[in-house]
Amino acid sequence: MTASGEAPHALCVVPIGCGTAQAACHVVRQSITHCCAPDHGSDPAILAAWLANKTPENLAAWITAPDATAWAAYCGEAMVGFALLTRTTLALCYVVPEALHQGVGRALLREAEARARELGLAALELESTRTAEAFYRRNGYEPAGAVQSWAGLQAQPMRKVF
């Protein structure tokens, strides 16, 4: 039971289509704004640059792109996480602040890795924020190149070999 006396909802991760782009966009924007605050330092210009292409229209296009697979993590009816695999890259993996440290990111990562294996990939690549780097390291990813910089943000290329 939760503190409010309600039974907790089980986590469910499912593949999604473009009809969920609005909810996925909300997850991504909430995660970037709140969970990734150490990365953007609450600097309005950096945050605006990061969020600029995170629109429902763009998410719909990314979800339906050739060679893309997307998943949503739900807790009850609420989408609490979103991940997008494009070819050999985990392009997006975000969790809403309320769902951090509850296995949502790990569940999304496992789905993306399973799909990568189904596709015959030998490894999965991603660019991690500094905030998420420890999470990816705990899940078997290692740095795979020099830190990248863009619009005041830093990203560590990472890779996991299967």
pLDDT for 1: 40
pLDDT for 44: 97
Q: Please give the helix or strand (H or E) that residue 159 lies within, else none.
A: strand 153-161
Asked if 56 and 25 count as a contact pair (C-beta separation under 8 A), the reply is: yes
pLDDT for 8: 59
- Collect the ranges in the chain with pLDDT lower than 70: 1-8
Closest Cα to residue 91, out of 58, 117, 120, 134? 58
pLDDT for 42: 94
pLDDT for 147: 98
Asked if 11 and 78 count as a contact pair (C-beta separation under 8 A), the reply is: no
Buried b (16+ CB within 10 A) or exposed e, 133-159: bebbeeeebeeeeeeeeeeebebbbbb
